[in-house]
Amino acid sequence: MLLQSHDGGITLLPALPSAWKDGSIKGVKARGNFTVDIQWKNGELAQGKIYSALGGNCRIRTYQPVKVIEVKSIEAGGETPNPLFTVYGKPLYEKNPNAQLQDLNLKKEFMIDFPTEKGKTYTIIPL
């Protein structure tokens, strides 16, 4: 999976197949009326471009620290202020008390918010 945007933000390269070491995609539509281009090298984000069709806050999640060239970003937390990223509840989860769950080796996640203006493009690069 190259992009995900159902949970209050845009996640870049959430599940990049290991066979796709280098590559790019262009023009992928994300929730919030953003259009995303992504380039990756050696399995990691090299650059992203976010076009904002409506303006408003943009929340980006990655597995490496990133920055936005055109504007100042801040570390994100809590609910996103952009109503176009509305999350419609979470499924009810009840753990079976007898279940033996395995520990997951999850990558560290980084999340930033930045303001966008209608019709402008923003460049995301690794730190």
Q: How confident is the model at residue 87 (pLDDT cuts 50, 70, 90)?
A: low
45 in any annotated domain: yes
Reference 48, options 35, 56, 117, 57; nearest CA is: 35
**Which strands form 3-4's sheet, in the order they lie side by side?**
3-4, 10-12, 56-62, 110-116, 74-75
101 in any annotated domain: no
74 in any annotated domain: yes
55 in any annotated domain: yes
Domain boundaries, position 117: 3-86+106-126
CB atoms within 10 A of CB 97: 5
| Confidence check: pLDDT of 95 > 90 | no
38 in any annotated domain: yes
Compute the mean pLDDT over every residue in the chain, rounded to the nearest whole number. 90
Q: How confident is the model at residue 20 (pLDDT cuts 50, 70, 90)?
A: very high
CATH number at residue 12: 2.60.40.1180
Both structure tokens of 64? 């490496």
pLDDT in tens, 45-76: 999 999 999 999 999 999 999 999 999 998 98
Please classify residue 33 by burial: count the beta carbons closer than 10 Å to its beta carbon, then call 0-12 exposed, 13-18 middle and 19+ buried. middle
91 in any annotated domain: no
Distance CA(86)–CA(109), nearest Å, equals 20
Q: Which pTM does this prediction carry?
A: 0.83
The pLDDT assigned to 49 comes to 98
Distance CA(25)–CA(37), nearest Å, equals 6
65 in any annotated domain: yes
* Total domains, the chain: 1
β-strand partners of 104: none
| Confidence check: pLDDT of 8 > 90 | no
100 in any annotated domain: no
